[in-house]
């Protein structure tokens, strides 16, 4: 990992019309950031707006979920084939809200990751402990989620995955980002788990109440490879500020 990776998932926000306005505002401030990689994951209906706005830029677009099957009687679901046809390059899976609201477990998440890779896209796997707890206990939870979702993947496939560490207690209105020492320790533990499997190129992002004020200190931590931004990014000016932060030395440079 030699280039920072910074992106956003809008969750269930911004209609296609609003997304078009977001891109018109944000793109001028993002296109000059040549030393990092950027991505945006809008809701399904706004993916065509993302494609129209971003197809002539280096900014990737993607989706927030996928069904593990390529087609079939799955009313209301969206397949990896459909997302690939829309030019998506990154697909998010395993977010704590999906685990909570849709009862998604590791087996389903692993099947979704297989489908994403089958269609040549990069899975972005979210992991994180649900409540504040001692570091050893938090590491145990996160490593269990990593094993459940990624344990069966070969090394060459692991290198195509993005991991986002998002402590659930640091997500949502009124929450605050995890302390820097907590983030660094958790990222180091995730990196160690990946390294033991030979996955040296898998980026590990931090997500959880990232904002323009804390983005720089978090991004400069040794084991943080980038940022995954939620509600702050709904303001395009705020996302430009976050995406533009000074970052630290990358591993491998």
The residue assigned the tokens 């990737």 is: 60
Could you say which of 95, 129, 145, 187 is catalytic?
A: 95
Contact predicate 14/46, CB 8 Å: yes
For this structure, is 95 an active site residue?
yes
Instruction: Indicate if the alpha-carbon torsion angle 209, 214, 216, 220 is positive or negative.
Output: negative
Active-site residue (options: 92, 104, 145, 166): 166
Contact 207, 230 (CB under 8 A): yes
Q: What beta strand segments (E) does 138-212 contain?
A: 162-165, 204-207
**Cβ atoms of 127 and 190 closer than 8 Å:** yes
User: How many CA atoms are closer than 13 Å to the CA of 10, on its beta-carbon side?
Assistant: 26
* 111 closest CA partner among 139, 77, 76: 77
102 is known as an active-site residue: no
| Cβ atoms 223, 193 nearer than 8 A | no
CA distance 169 to 186: 14
First to last CA, the chain: 9
Q: What is the DSSP letter of 98?
A: H
Residue 223 Rama label (left phi>0; alpha psi -120 to 50; beta): alpha
Q: Which residues are catalytic?
A: 95, 166
């Amino acid at each position: 990992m030699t280039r920072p990776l910074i992106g956003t998932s809008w969750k269930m926000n911004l209609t296609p019309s609003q997304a078009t306005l977001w891109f018109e505002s944000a793109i001028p401030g993002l296109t000059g950031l040549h030393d990092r990689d950027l991505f945006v994951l809008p809701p399904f209906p706004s993916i065509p707006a993302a494609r129209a706005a971003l197809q002539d830029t280096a900014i990737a677009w993607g989706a927030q979920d996928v069904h593990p099957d390529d087609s079939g009687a799955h009313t209301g679901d969206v397949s990896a084939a459909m997302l690939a046809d829309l030019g998506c390059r990154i697909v998010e899976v395993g977010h704590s809200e999906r685990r909570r609201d849709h009862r998604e477990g590791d087996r389903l998440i692993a099947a979704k990751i297989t489908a994403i890779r089958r269609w040549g896209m990069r899975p972005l796997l979210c992991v994180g402990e649900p409540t504040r707890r001692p570091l050893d206990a938090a590491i145990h939870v996160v490593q269990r989620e990593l094993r459940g979702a990624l344990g069966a993947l070969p090394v060459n496939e692991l290198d195509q995955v993005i991991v986002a560490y998002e402590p659930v207690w640091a997500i949502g209105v009124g929450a605050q980002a995890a302390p820097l020492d907590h983030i660094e320790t958790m990222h180091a533990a995730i990196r160690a788990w990946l390294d033991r499997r030979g996955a040296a190129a898998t980026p590990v992002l931090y997500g959880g109440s990232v904002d323009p004020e804390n983005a720089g200190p978090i991004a400069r931590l040794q084991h943080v490879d980038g940022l995954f931004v939620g509600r702050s990014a709904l303001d395009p000016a705020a996302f430009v500020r976050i995406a533009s932060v000074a970052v630290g030395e990358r591993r491998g440079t």
